[in-house]
Amino acid sequence: MSKDMSYAAVLGRKPEIMKKSVGIDFSKYESGSIAFDYEQMMRDVEYTIEDVKNIQQDHGVGNTPIIELRNITELARKCAPEGKGARIFIKDEASNASGSFKARRAALAVYQAKKLGYKGVVTATSGNYGAAVASQAAMYGLKCIVVQECYDSKGVGQPEIIEKARACEALGAEVVQLTVGPELFYKFLLLLEETGYFNASLYTSFGITGVETLGYEIAMQFRERYGKDPDYVVASNAGGGNLTGTARGLKKAGAESRIIAASVNLSGLHMAADTQFNRKSFTTSHTGFGVPFSTWPDRSDVPRSAARPLRYLERYLTVQQGDVFYITEALASLEGLEKGPAGNTALAAAFSLAQELDQDQTIVVQETEYTGAGKHIQPQLSFARENGIEIKFGNPHDEVPGQNIILPSHPSMIKAQDLDVDNMRRSLIKNALKNYNVTEPTKEDIKFLAEETNSNEEFVKNVIASL
């Protein structure tokens, strides 16, 4: 008798498909309520930092340089009050194989697939991760399928996403291009079931452990060069794995650096709405992913996500689309470094943050990405115009996502805005109670939620009481 391939039936088989495709029995970490043993799940990866570094460096990943942005720092100081203007550095992750930090996640995930004897890997992503998985799969001699949310219902795709599909195909992957909406996850599950391939998910403990080397390298390289840890590390935030892995790596190095999240403000746009899909110029590092995944991490493609950013971040800054395009051009024209705009989200936030801090303080922007073809700012702005988006100079804080992109008429107008992190903590607690159908959380749940929100048990109890 053939299997039921209806949408409802396939999604109903999700736990079975996921267990078979990632080689992890998530049930052993469960408590039967909200809490689960996150740290044990991470420890079960069984690779040390040195193991991961060796695996990555054997495949063109890691040991990327830290570069001081002297001219951008000087520009920030010209905009800052007297005595302010922290030194800004970038970790140049574009020098990884495949051109982004995602190569770190892919290197360990694909290594694990090869070790367990899988014949191929599947990943669902419209971003740089697809190219990273394709690159690593080619090195290991594995098949690779990338499932990509690419077009709206009229068959129109953003230039950045089309470029990423080109990169995946160039690196040997089969790319399955789909329209925006629930079709993506359905097709992804079908392919995992049909092929028996490994789920090279962004959100498993292997993917996040792969990013830990990034944070660890920042601490070690900075100490070697400057004799101290950076005061702040700013991480672009979407699904949370970038920030989570970097923060865990910094902690493993014993670093005291404070972790700041940064996203492009796309409030008002629905990420899965067909009519709004092409009215945004950023497909990642934006609030449409960053806020929902921070306040409910387990919305990912595995039962328990290893990306849990609220455990680690101290502040969450948002910037406008125009801010990021401007700082991308500034990076190229002032520093001679041409990088992709999405990776410069954290740089725009760092440029603003630097103006709050003393000149002897330091900020590391922990990633860059490759640019070219559709990822460059010019095709993205041209595509925005074609979709009726007004492009102009002015104050970016007058920008309305989906209607206009406002490039700052002066760099002093790049001003990051703080999201209310306590409100996000409250949302996570509320979502946990609702999604796990818990009315009376246990002591273990309370302790877990305090860890999840980087708060304390008193805060959690007060939130629950208010609900």
DSSP-assigned states of every residue in 231-276: SEEEEE-SSSHHHHHHHHHHHHTT--PEEEEEEE--TT--TT-TTT
Structural domain includes residue 125: no
Given this model, what pLDDT does residue 447 score?
97
Helix (H) or strand (E) holding 405: strand 404-408
Q: Per-residue pLDDT tens for 87-122?
A: 999 999 999 999 999 999 999 999 999 999 999 999
Count of domains in the chain?
2
Within a domain: 3: no
CA angle 328, 56, 97 (to 5 degrees): 40
What pTM, to 2 d.p., does this model score?
0.96
Which residue numbers in the chain have pLDDT < 50?
A: none
In a domain, 213, yes or no: yes
- Residue 374 has a pLDDT of 87
Per DSSP (E only), the strands in 58-127 are: 66-68, 87-91, 120-124
Would you say residue 131 lies in a domain? no
Q: Is 449 part of a structural domain of the chain?
A: yes
Q: Are residues 243 and 313 in the same domain?
A: yes
Q: Do the strands 143-151 and 232-236 form a parallel or antiparallel pair, or are they unpaired?
A: unpaired
- One domain, residues 321 and 410: yes
Task: Verify that 462 and 380 share a domain, yes or no.
Answer: no
Which structural domain, as residue segments, surrounds residue 413? 61-97+209-418
310 shares its domain with 449: no
Judge if 314 and 407 occupy the same domain.
yes
Domain check: are 240 and 338 in the same one? yes
Both 440 and 386 in one domain: the answer is no
Tens of pLDDT, residue by residue over 156-197, are 888 988 999 999 999 999 999 988 877 888 899 999 999 999
pLDDT value of residue 155: 87
User: Cα Rg for the chain, rounded, in angstroms?
Assistant: 21
Token pair of 273, please?
Answer: 């709405």
pLDDT (0 to 100) of residue 184: 82
Asked if residue 9 belongs to a domain, the reply is: no
The one-character DSSP state at 305 is -
Q: How far is Cα 106 from Cα 391, in angstroms, rounded to an integer?
A: 36
Task: Examine the domain organization and report whether 341 and 398 are in the same domain.
Answer: yes
Q: How far is CA 9 from the centre of its chain?
A: 30
> Within this chain, do residues 331 and 443 fall inside the same structural domain, yes or no?
no
- Residue 1's pLDDT is 56
Does residue 13 lie in a domain region? no
